[in-house]
Homo-oligomer: A and B are copies of this chain.
Amino acid sequence: MKIGIVGLGLIGGSVALDLRQRGFASSVIGTDSNPEHVRVAKQAGILQEEGSLSDLARGCDLIILATPVDVAPAILLSLLELASDKTIILDVGSTKEHICQAVEKHPRRKQFVACHPIAGTENTGPGAAHHGLFDNKVNIICNAADSDAHAVETAEELFACLKMETVHMDARAHDRHLAFVSHLSHITSFALGLTVLEIEKDEKSIFNLAGSGFASTVRLAKSSPAMWAPIFRQNAGHVSEALDAYIQQLLRFKEAIDQGMVTETYDMISRANHVSRVLSGIELKNKQNPPVKPAPTAE
């Protein structure tokens, strides 16, 4: 199958590497608004051919849209116009309601499958792309009933080739869940990074005093603004709700600490400790062998 990739960053690049190596893609045509990304991607063997959106629409069986979420809907609309009736188009963005709404009434809506393979690192660009990024992770397909059954099936085969389990979900539910389990933790890291950088002007004293705990908690603060600012904008309602809930928890900690209420602090920490069950679940999931062909799950 000839695959087109729009957006040759960490995600687009890593998808291309594995699909080609594992035989799902016979060849990859790629495009990116940043010429430097194209150059690096070529060097890294991510694409076999560079092409315009029209080239991709004319020459590919399946196109994967892997740009930041702010530009994805407009590119998707162009691709739907340019492509043949048989071309399947997927996106892999971190918000799903906005892009689904943008094409809701489009006569070719059925050729589009809204996807979110949940994987990534705090590093960005084609230079960070690598094999195996998606192995044993979960892919979400949203609003599958609005897509052609064959297109959904092909998308599931593609993500199975990436060794992912596919789960089905409503786009709005996806965005709310992700606000809590992903978007919020990025903001907590950005804000922690800013707080410490503003107070500790002498970076050497941070190196000396910060342990591995700080490094782990602030790691996501390295994430790309070009990717994340648009995600927060598109998912503003749910992210704002998550931030409210989080700030309330912090204010409860602050009150307990200000009032010297050690039992309260102790209880809150003990309840937070339950997250270790969740962490074990995530670790266990990452260790499991992925299913050869994913069974769609209703949600």
Q: Which of B177, B226, B228, B250 contacts A243 (CB 8 A)?
A: B250
Q: Which residues on the B side are within 8 Å of A215 (C-beta)?
A: 279, 282-283
Q: A251 an interface residue at 8 Å Cβ cutoff?
A: yes
Question: What per-residue 1/0 map shows which CB atoms of A183-217 lie under 8 Å from chain B?
Answer: 01111111111111111100111111111111111
Cβ–Cβ < 8 Å partners of A140 in chain B = 209
Chief secondary structure at chain A's binding surface: helix
**Quick check: is A161 within 8 A (CB to CB) of the other chain?**
no
> Which residues of A approach B to under 8 Å, CB–CB?
70, 118-122, 137-138, 140, 167, 177-178, 180-182, 184-200, 203-226, 228-230, 232-233, 236, 239-240, 242-247, 249-251, 253-254, 257-258, 260, 262, 265-279, 281-286, 299
One of B187, B189, B257, B271 near A236 (C-beta < 8 A): B257
Kindly report how many copies of this chain are found in the complex they form together: 2
- Decide: B246 and A192 in contact? CB cutoff 8 A: yes
Chain B residues contacting A270 (CB-CB under 8 Å) are 225
In the complex, the answer to whether A210 meets B182 with C-beta atoms within 8 Å is yes
Which residues of the partner chain B approach A216 to less than 8 Å between Cβ atoms?
A: 216-217, 219-220
Chain B: which residue is nearest A280 at the CB level? B207
- Known contacts A137-B211, A254-B243; A217 and B197 CB within 8 A of each other: no
